[in-house]
Amino acid sequence: MALNADVARGRGKVWLRRCASGLAALALSTAIPVSAGETSDEAVLWPTRLRADMARVAQVEWRLRDAASGLCPGVAADIGVVFDDRRAYRKADWPVLASTLGLADRPVVAALVPGGPAERAGLVVGDEIEAVGGFSVDAIAERRKAGPLVAEALLEEIATTSPERLIEITVRRQGTNLAVTILPKRHCAARLVLEVDRSIDAHSDARNVSISAGLVTLAQNDDELAMVAGHELAHIIHRDRRGGGISKRRRMEDAADSLGIGLIHCAGYNAAAGSVLLDRLRKRDWLGFLRAPTHRSFSKRVERLQAEIPGLTCPATPKPVVENQKGSPSAQSD
Ligand SMILES: [Zn+2]
């Protein structure tokens, strides 16, 4: 799980799609405060809420990356941890981050995947990170030209180590330095990026899935959150790219729905419960604002998914849309 807060936005990620699992961006009525300029109660609450979202997304990410191992374009070492660092936020927000989360000048362990390698090895939420793999935080940030994205750089440092080879993380806990040795797991390299954003939005580029905090709030359970993330992860696995006509795009979206629901099933989520999100969106979507033109209606998508659920098997099977010899798109049959 990675965080894309306000400062991080400046990095200029170019997302290839804004299919948003069929959603156009729409402001939520339940606003998510993201700046110190909000009212005092909200200003105190938003860091806590953000941390809860980060932990939630991290768990979904772990399970989906596990289910997608062997399907994704790349692999990465994963230890099931989320780091947070105040440099990813505006300086104006630093005081409230310190008072609500105790986030000071060092990156910290913000969340751990329950039962994941980092938790089993003894890392604890709140641990301050001193070094990863024998390199200090500052050395890693400089080598990776991290700028404000120090937490990201630490995750990348772990991701690019050899999976199934021990990695040592030095943390500071209650004034004492501890070395924790962790055995990573080999996972799909694609990550979920939590966008600090009030809109209802999900999209993906060739490498990562982006989910807005607004969408995390809208998802009533992790089955629904996994449904959205699984669809986007399927686009990455299929190596879908922008372009082509509506017909081809719709085939891509159908294929992403099919693989996505297979991934969430294999990740241990309830596929039927996940598809309820689409049904709830259908009920909200009385003017069609939420639906991208490349996607079928929500009711049609739910109907297709419900029909596929009884036949789901693991591992999930990719079915990318390819051009046939006549230039019209067709789904791969094998
Ligand atoms: Zn899509």
Task: Between 179 and 248, name the one with better pLDDT.
Answer: 179
Q: What local confidence, expressed as pLDDT, does residue 281 receive?
A: 78
**At residue 25, does pLDDT exceed 60?**
no
Mean pLDDT (whole number) for 222-238: 96
CATH 2.30.42.10 residue ranges of the chain are 2-188
Q: Between helices 246-266 and 271-284, what is the axis angle to 10°?
A: 140
Asked if 88 and 7 count as a contact pair (C-beta separation under 8 A), the reply is: yes
**At residue 60, does pLDDT exceed 90?**
yes
What's the 218 CA to ligand 1 centre distance in angstroms?
A: 18
Task: Give CA–CA dist 307/181, Å, rounded.
Answer: 46
What's the 310 CA to ligand 1 centre distance in angstroms?
A: 22
Q: Which of 99, 97, 122, 102 is nearest to 112 (CA)?
A: 122
Task: Give CA–CA dist 100/21, Å, rounded.
Answer: 33
- List pLDDT tens digits, range 135-167: 999 999 999 999 999 999 999 999 999 877 999
What's the 240 CA to ligand 1 centre distance in angstroms?
A: 9
What's the 325 CA to ligand 1 centre distance in angstroms?
A: 25
A 10 A CB-CB count for 114 gives: 11
What's the 235 CA to ligand 1 centre distance in angstroms?
A: 7
Neighbours of ion ligand 1 (CB under 5 A): 19, 253, 256
- pTM, two decimal places: 0.84
What's the 248 CA to ligand 1 centre distance in angstroms?
A: 12
Instruction: Assign domain 2-188 to its CATH architecture.
Output: Roll (2.30)
Cα–Cα separations (whole angstroms), residue 64 to 88, 189, 300: 26, 11, 25
